[in-house]
Chains A and B, each alone.
Chain A
Amino acid sequence: MASKEDISTYIKEFKPFYQQEIYPLLASFEEERLSKKQTKDMLTKILTVCVIICVGSIVYFLVCKKMLIEPNNVILIFTFLSLFCLIPVCIFLTKLCKDFEIKVKEAVLNKYLSFFGHFSWSMQPKMTKEDIKESKLFPHFETIKTDDNFTGSFKGHRMFISEMELSRTETRYTNNGTRTEKVIIFEGVMVKIALNKKFSSQTIVLDREFSVAQLASQKLTGGGLDFLTKDLFYDFNKLHEVKLEDPDFCKKYIVYSEDQVEARFILTTAFIERFKLLRKAFVFGEDEKRIMENKLVNQYMSSGIKASFLNNVVTIAIPTITQRDLFLIGSLDKRMTDSEQINEFFKEFIAILSIVDILNLDSKTGL
């Protein structure tokens, strides 16, 4: 365990801890990884062949149809076999990768997290659908899919961290009829932190980009245009807009609250300044390079962080800009002791913990 609960201490002391405790553990999985990688490569080849046969067959049948030629039965049999194999191979391939990842995480992560003192990892979600609906950050979602979940405390603040995806099905009307598709509402990390300030009402900080549409829908049509702005929270009547003093903050975010005074009690001018720094702090690894190359600037600028304050707890939703799997350890494609993989995990976790420092949550004069 690190000698002090402090980000700079973690950065300083992680390397020797890793060399002593984590490296041998990861190295013990290398042989298994290589064997599973061979299986994966073989399955990928089979899958590629199946796909080529299927695509080739489709082209063949179309040509036969056009030229009014009877298709060859052997090709027909091969096509059926390929189709028959396609789905099971896909499922088995995904399962192979995921099972290995989970196995490594179960063996390594709790040891890894012992460095940070009081954290544990689990595949079991720590935040339920009701928790998220109660926060009112994303009221209109149907499915919640979580990956990595962490529970622990940092500087006296109890924290729940969950990598998750929220989605819903939507019906689209096209020229050919209706089509149901899955729409991802949120993909990223949800963090729940217990605070040292007491408050009884709810305050929400949302992206202004989405909220203007919501507001217009509510104000002009009483919700009649909700199908355009599906992220509208349902208890609008109790929540009123809070106009704050910081123009930069107000350009990016909109605040709603049940109590105007309590909203300002939570969102002090100092806290607002620190909240603005959060988006800059949460650029996960690879995304940073791409933003620097200007490939994702627009997405970065528009993907704001949302926060909900309720019952002495703050729930913060941090979207990832690219659809990457965060907290990845145990990839079949990378060497088990690959330093890049370990560093990425470390940086991602540290970035989450730094919320407490950035927002100054452990100080009585902070939030």
Chain B
Amino acid sequence: MVLYIIIGVIVAVLYGLYVQVVQKKNKVKEAFASIDVQLKKRYDLMPNILTMANQFMEHEKELILEVAKIRTKAMSMKSQFDNMHEKVKVENELQSKMGQLMVSMENYPQLKSNETMVQAMQTFAEVEEHIAAARRFYNAAILDLNNAVEIFPSSIIASSMGITTLPFFEISDEKEKERLDVTNYIRTNN
């Protein structure tokens, strides 16, 4: 009788660990998908901004074209764990070019004061914040999963299911990691 109880408890504990590992794995998938949802919002918003920018910003045609190209490339890339680094690189490039475009808008007061443009830019800024939030969610989910994979006893369950640690969402471009020298920026604008 006691033996059955002990076996029952062990089975219950193992089942509990199994459920936890599966839940953490699914949470990572959910978090990854949530990044995609936010990225889609960004892609959907960009044509409006680019169309309006194209009408007013005569000297930035090249930049606008570049942004459009990168957007198309980013949209065509499927979101998978395997190509995550590539996708992140492209998204960061897109973000950087959009940032340059926003800065260039300062030279076009007509565009800056356009109400539709102002609203679109505010919405874009909110979408960027949501993307950042989604990335934080993803990293939190990855941390949970990696802890479960590496720490005993859930590591046994994870390895038996073939679940391994996954990389965090981090900046892959070394240039972006460099310290920003603001003085050069100010000198250029002056």
Interface residues of A (CB under 8 A from B): 197-198, 242-245, 260-265, 268, 364
Which residues of the partner chain B approach A268 to less than 8 Å between Cβ atoms? 129, 132-133
Tell me whether B134 is interfacial, beta carbon within 8 Å: yes
Q: Which of A198, A264, A364 contacts B137 (CB 8 A)?
A: A264
Q: Does A261 lie within 8 Å of B144, measured CB to CB?
A: no
The distance from the CB of B5 to the nearest CB of chain A, in whole angstroms, is 19
Interface size range of chain B in the complex: 10 to 19
Please give me the residue from chain A that is nearest to B144 by CB atom: A243
Which residues of the partner chain A approach B132 to less than 8 Å between Cβ atoms? 264, 268
Q: How many A-B residue pairs have CB under 8 A?
A: 36
Known: A243-B140, A243-B144, A245-B140. A261 touches B133 (CB 8 A): yes
Which residues of the partner chain A approach B144 to less than 8 Å between Cβ atoms? 243
Known: A260-B137, A261-B130, A262-B133. A364 touches B31 (CB 8 A): no
Which residues of the partner chain A approach B86 to less than 8 Å between Cβ atoms? none
Which residues of the partner chain B approach A262 to less than 8 Å between Cβ atoms? 130, 133
Known: A198-B126, A260-B34. A265 touches B133 (CB 8 A): yes
How far apart sit A53 and B136, CA to CA, in the bound complex (Å)?
Answer: 69
Which residues of the partner chain B approach A265 to less than 8 Å between Cβ atoms? 129-130, 133
Tell me whether B38 is interfacial, beta carbon within 8 Å: yes
Tell me whether B102 is interfacial, beta carbon within 8 Å: no
Which residues of the partner chain B approach A364 to less than 8 Å between Cβ atoms? 122, 125
In B1-60, the 8 Å CB interface with A consists of 30-31, 34, 38
Please give me the residue from chain B that is nearest to A264 by CB atom: B133
Known: A198-B126, A268-B129, A364-B125. A261 touches B140 (CB 8 A): no
Known: A243-B140, A243-B144, A245-B140. A261 touches B129 (CB 8 A): no
Q: Does A264 lie within 8 Å of B125, measured CB to CB?
A: no
Which residues of the partner chain A approach B31 to less than 8 Å between Cβ atoms? 260
Please give me the residue from chain A that is nearest to B30 by CB atom: A260
Which residues of the partner chain B approach A245 to less than 8 Å between Cβ atoms? 136, 140
Q: Does B125 lie within 8 Å of A261, measured CB to CB?
A: no
How far apart sit A292 and B30, CA to CA, in the bound complex (Å)?
Answer: 48
Which residues of the partner chain B approach A263 to less than 8 Å between Cβ atoms? 133
How far apart sit A242 and B140, CA to CA, in the bound complex (Å)?
Answer: 9
Q: Does A261 lie within 8 Å of B38, measured CB to CB?
A: yes
Which residues of the partner chain B approach A242 to less than 8 Å between Cβ atoms? 140
The distance from the CB of A112 to the nearest CB of chain B, in whole angstroms, is 37
The distance from the CB of A74 to the nearest CB of chain B, in whole angstroms, is 76
Which residues of the partner chain A approach B130 to less than 8 Å between Cβ atoms? 261-262, 265
A-B contact sample (20 more), CB < 8 A, given A243-B140, A261-B130, A262-B130: A197-B126, A198-B126, A243-B144, A244-B140, A245-B136, A245-B140, A260-B30, A260-B31, A260-B34, A260-B137, A260-B140, A261-B38, A261-B134, A261-B137, A263-B133, A264-B132, A264-B134, A265-B130, A268-B129, A364-B122
Q: Does A264 lie within 8 Å of B126, measured CB to CB?
A: no
Identify the 10 closest CB pairs spanning chains A and B, nearest first.
A264-B133, A265-B133, A260-B137, A264-B136, A261-B134, A261-B133, A243-B140, A261-B34, A261-B137, A265-B130
Which residues of the partner chain A approach B30 to less than 8 Å between Cβ atoms? 260
How far apart sit A262 and B133, CA to CA, in the bound complex (Å)?
Answer: 7
How far apart sit A268 and B132, CA to CA, in the bound complex (Å)?
Answer: 9
How far apart sit A245 and B137, CA to CA, in the bound complex (Å)?
Answer: 10
Please give me the residue from chain B that is nearest to A265 by CB atom: B133
Which residues of the partner chain B approach A197 to less than 8 Å between Cβ atoms? 126
How far apart sit A168 and B136, CA to CA, in the bound complex (Å)?
Answer: 39
How far apart sit A179 and B9, CA to CA, in the bound complex (Å)?
Answer: 41
Which residues of the partner chain A approach B143 to less than 8 Å between Cβ atoms? 243
Which of A262, A265, A364 neighbours the largest number of chain B CB atoms within 10 Å of its CB?
A265
How far apart sit A84 and B28, CA to CA, in the bound complex (Å)?
Answer: 71
Which residues of the partner chain A approach B136 to less than 8 Å between Cβ atoms? 245, 264
10 contacts between A and B (CB under 8 A): A197-B126, A198-B126, A243-B143, A245-B136, A260-B140, A261-B34, A261-B134, A265-B129, A265-B133, A268-B132
